[in-house]
Every structure is written in C-alpha cells, then in structure tokens.
Structure 1
C-alpha cells in the first residue's frame, strides 16, 4: 500500500459498518485518505465498527440503505468520491435462503442504484466492486477457479453475486469506459480476523463457544475453504485500485485474491488449531445438514500475483494467531482501534 497515493484522496466505502468495511476504513484512514462511509447500522452487537471506534476516523459516516435510490444519491453527492470500494451486501449464504428477495435486492439492485449515482460523480476515477469466490459454477472437483471460469450460483447469495459480476461488466462497457472511470471486481472468500461477530461463521461461532465454555457445534467439518486474514484481500483491493488509477484501461476486469497454494484447510482443521491454542475450547460435529453449501472451494490468484505483484503474506497459521490475539486483547478491554492499526502496520511490513 502506497500511503502517498492515498494521502488526502477522497474515498467512499459502502458497507463500512461491516467487518471487512471497518478494517478497510481503518486501513485507508491510516494511509491518509479522507474516508466516507455509506451503510446501514452495524449488523451485529458488538461490532468491529463500534469497538474500534471506526466513526472517529471518517470524514462522513452516512447511514443509508443502498436500495433507496433517492437517499443514496444524496449520500454519494455528499461524499464526492474519487475512489469507491463497494462492499455493502447481504453476505451470508444461509441468510440468503431465508430472505432471497432481500438478498437480490441488496446485492443486485443496490449495486445498480450505486452505479447510477456514480455516473454523475464529477471527479470519480475508479470503482471496485467486491463480490466473492462463490460466483463460480462450482463442480465440487476441488480444482482452483480462475477469473476465466464460468459464473454460477446454486444458492441465492452466490447467484446474486454472480449477477453483480454481470452488472459490473455491463456498466463498465456501457457507461464507465466512455467516461474514463476504471471499474473492476474483486473475488475473495472466507476471511478471518478480529472483530467478526457474524452468525454462521466459524471463527465468531468459535469465540462465542469459548466465551460460554461450551463445545462448538460444526455442521460441515470436512468442508474446505480458502481461509485468509481479512487484511490479505484488502491489501489486494488497495493495490488494484492504485494500479487502476496509475495505468488506466489496464486493470479493469475481475480479479481473484485467495490464499497461497496449499493453505486451504478443512473446517475441522481450523477448529483443531483453535483448540491447540485454547485448552478450554472443544468442538463436535452436528447433525443438522441445512441448505446446500459448497464443500470444496479454491480460487487461483495467479493473475493478481503476476500482474499486480500482490501475494499472500501470512500463512493460515499466522492469520489464525493474529485473529486469536485480537480477541484476547478485546477480552482484556484493550484499545481496539490501536490494536487494529498495529496489526495493519504489521501486515504492511511483513
């Protein structure tokens, strides 16, 4: 991350009250950017946004539903962005089965609303739409998906994000390319890190079980995921945007940001690793099958490695250690904004 690039640059982060959005806002503000955020209230309590006092580093903290075009237009006008990171979403697979209409409305219509507002943003240079590694038509063979693979989505969340990729391509070709606005998408997966309290996610569920001195019930112990610390893809996002602005037309496409080859792990491996660091933590397999979720999921980040010079810096073990350290400091009532900034700085120099 080139701090000189971000100094005093006006940046809009949608979804800034969420887990990834809070980390990204802190990272950008720490580099000297003037950060505005558009989002709903924090999705959990507690939340990283609150415990790390993210609002204190923002130029504008704007509560707005991206499905409300009129309110969104006013918020975008106030932020007057030069760079936009779009993270606002309904991000959970299982929630998408309970609320498919809301999932598509947020992840597809909300994106279209934002892009329509950005068409008239006077100084806009680049937009990055953050989707997911789940946009691919997953045949469950374990092969690593590249950006050239077909889009798909068996569950509503994955399908909505595949639709968002199609919207990105359409908007780039129909509008942004003519006006000189760079527009790319970024695909990453199961990020971990301190400050995540979402439901139906392994690390938050494990921390809750640890705090309650109860065993963690895991529904799919054998599922494989591309685990990585949240700072890994965020580092990729900022590097990508820097490249988009410096070399227009060269980087406006889809990009994967996944862990290093061989760093994919099963859910049970991650649970066992946590148990090795906490003697009072245990887990067992549950009997609930639940709706369909991919068992095998790996992505190929060769494009980002070869063309951006980005590469994963922390192993899955380092990522877990850093995450567990964050929650330990939180239990000790430390200054969590300082903790986040320290971990960001450690990542940047690693």
Structure 2
C-alpha cells in the first residue's frame, strides 16, 4: 500500500458531497472524520448519538451537516437525500448488535432491511450519484462454523435476527441493483470484527474491557473461545474508499467484497484479544463467565478476503496485534481524560500519510 496510491484514491473525494448514513455510530464517525480530513463535504443521516460516543467526543457535529432522522421513515429519507443530492453514499445505518437483535427483532429487521430499501428508493430519484457502498457484515453468511473463511460466493443466511436481517438486506441490494439501479455503481461490503478507539457499544469485547477498567472490575468473557476476524477500523474504511474508487474508475468490479485480515488474524479468540489489549493498555483483568442462554452467538467465523486483495489491491496496514495496540493507545488517552479529538486526528494522519 504505497503512499502515492493512497493519495490518488483519497483525491477522488476532495470537494465531493458524500453522504454517510449512520454517521453518529462508531464506524460512521471514524469514516466521517476520515472523509473530512481528505477534503470531502460530509453529510450524515442517523439517529441521535449516544451521550458517550466518538461523534460527541470529537465534536463531529461541527464538521458534518447532520440530519437526525430514523432511516425507517421513507418520505423523510427521500426528502433529505434529494436535498443533499450526494455524489457518493456510504450506507452504515443499522442496528448492529447480535444480542440486541434478540431483544428487539422487529426493530432490527425494520432498520436493517426496510431502512436499506428506503435509502435505495431515495437513490432512484438521484441523477448524479457516482457510487454507493452498502456496508453489511461478516455475519451475513450461513455460518456452519467451519475452519476456513467464507467467500463472497458462499450462501447467505443467519441464525440470529441481526445476521438474518443483514442477509436479507444483501438480497434486497442485489434486487434493487438489477431492477431499478442498474445505472448506479453499487456494491455491498462485508468486514469482520472491527476494533478501534471510540467504540462504546454494549456486548463488544473492547468496550466491555474499558467499562470494566473504569469500574475497577474484571471484565466477564461470555464466549472466551469465539474466533473472529479482528481488524482495525481504518483498514476497513480504507477498503470502503477503495471500493468506491474502483466503482468509478474500474469496470471490472464484483457485486460484493469481504475485508478481513490474512489467516494469521483470522484465528484469534476473544480471550486472546482480551489478554493482548489488557497488556497494551497496562490495566485491567478478566474472568470467564459462560452463560447458558438461547441467545446464541456463533463460535467460529472467518472471512476470505482474497477477492478484495486481487481485484482491488486492498491490503491491511495493521496486523491484528498492531490493531489492538493502536486501539489501546486511543483508549489510554480516553481513560486518562485527555483530548481524544487529538489522538483521533493523529491516528488518521499517520494512517493516510499526510
């Protein structure tokens, strides 16, 4: 990943009107800050940010034109998208938590499926949209918990409502592409377990560790042996921008792409990630407390990112241990009550080489 290559890709976004749905969430806030740093005019549609969120900590509301709106409201979404008239869209708005999908299955399906359809309905009325990148998840695959990574041609499915809703949204995306949006460059992208500073979501291991440190308690690991493709948020977002670049300048683009670490990063368990994070941050402890519950999370999930590496020339900058290190650096600043706006800018600047 050469500096010149990255700069060529980033130059595409300068002065473009870029819409990010879900910009008040963890990945959406990082993406909005990244786009802002490379000169894009960023717009966002999302629900209000949680009080403790990256969006608020870096004062993103002063850098993005925000529309606080539930994506399930079709007429409002159509009106807002038409008003923005974006050149580029990144769709991240979602109910993203597996365990929460068991508590609120209808809301999860409405947000993840109908919300995606509502956005595509709005896209039908645009005449200058250059590309749309539809972000789903690694959990869209029919998970058989086998040892090798899922490829883009493998069957979609989902045991829990979150995974199934995202698989449904993938089917809807392909349907709209073929039925109504065949003149629009649109691709779905699937990433693994994304880590990085500023994630305060419930039921995610890094935020759980940080909350436990704040309470001076050991973090409880409910699935210590679960394996996920752990990767840093900036590596994933670079993949999203790279997809957009190829959609505009390359005719040979597939319908969907996986972004995941190479095999070495596809084998780490929750317990291992916890140990390395605690070691890097220099604080904390853990205990294993497996609950017998019908709210099942899959134990083994691996992704094959060969297609993105071959067709897009994507490559992660951080291996999994480096991703954990940079994540711990961010949270050290947070726990020490320092200005995390500064560390966020530094990490983006160092990543993109400006």
Same-fold status (TM-score > 0.5): yes
Q: Secondary structure at the match of 1:88?
A: coil
Matching residue of 2:132: 127
Please report how far the alpha carbon of residue 141 of structure 1 lies from its aligned counterpart in structure 2 after TM superposition.
Answer: 1.4
Residues 183 and 252 of structure 1, relative CA distance in 2, 3 Å threshold: farther
Q: CA separation in 2, counterparts of 1:29 and 1:312?
A: 21
What is the TM-score normalised by the length of structure 2?
A: 0.95
Distance in 1 (CA, whole Å) between partners of 2:231 and 2:280 is 18
Select between 260-269 and 149-158 the one with higher mean Cα deviation: 260-269
TM-score between the two structures when normalised by the length of structure 1? 0.96
Tell me which of 217, 221, 228 is aligned to 1:218.
Answer: 221
CA distance in 1 between counterparts of 2:237 and 2:259 reads: 9
Question: Pick from 124, 134, 149: which aligns with 1:144?
Answer: 149
Task: Show structure 2 runs of 5+ residues with no match.
Answer: 1-5
Give the C-alpha shift of residue 276 in structure 1.
2.1
Distance 2:18 2:192 in 1: 23
After TM superposition, give the deviation of residue 345 of structure 1 in Å. 2.0
Distance of aligned partners of 1:142 and 1:196 in 2 relative to their CA distance in 1, 3 Å threshold: same
Aligned mates of 2:324, 2:350 — CA distance in 1? 15
Check if 1:47 corresponds to 2:50.
no
- Counterpart contact for 2:98–2:160, Cα < 8 Å: yes
In structure 2, the partner of 1:21 is 28
Give the Å deviation of 1:257: 0.3
CA distance in 2, matches of 1:146, 1:71: 36
SS at match of 1:259: coil
Partner in structure 2 of residue 344 of structure 1: 348
- Give the aligned length: 345
Residue number among 18, 22, 30 corresponding to 2:37 in the alignment: 30
Residues 141 and 150 in structure 2, CA contact (< 8 A), matched pair in contact too? yes
**Using the alignment, how far apart are the partners of 1:324 and 1:274 within structure 2?**
6
Q: Distance in 1 between matches of 2:105 and 2:206?
A: 25
What is the DSSP-based 3-state SS (H/G/I as helix, E as strand, rest coil) of the residue aligned with 1:228? strand
Counterparts of 1:169 and 1:191 in 2: how far apart (Å)?
A: 25
- The 5-angstrom pairing of residues 188-203 of structure 1 reads 188-203=191-206
SS in 2 for 1:225: coil
Pairing of 1:42-81 with structure 2 (within 5 A):
42=49, 44-58=50-64, 60-81=65-86
1:93 and 2:98 matched? yes
The yes-or-no answer on 1:304 pairing with 2:308 is: yes
Equivalent in 206, 209, 222 of residue 206 of structure 1: 209
Contact 1:191 1:228 in 2 (8 A): yes
Unaligned segments of structure 1, at least 5 residues: none
Cα displacement string for residues 305-332 of structure 1 (whole angstroms, at most 9, x for unaligned residues):
0110111110111111111111111233
Q: Which residue of 1 aligns with 2:253?
A: 251
Q: Does 1:108 find its partner at 2:113?
A: yes
1:260-301 per-residue CA deviation (whole Å, 9 max, x = no partner) reads: 221121000011112323454110111313311110000000
Residues 287-296 or 254-263, more deviating: 287-296
Q: CA deviation at 1:174?
A: 0.8
Query: Is residue 2:2 matched to residue 1:11?
Result: no
Q: d(CA) in 2 for partners of 1:332 and 1:152?
A: 42
Paired residues of 1:96 and 1:103 also in contact (CA < 8 A):
yes
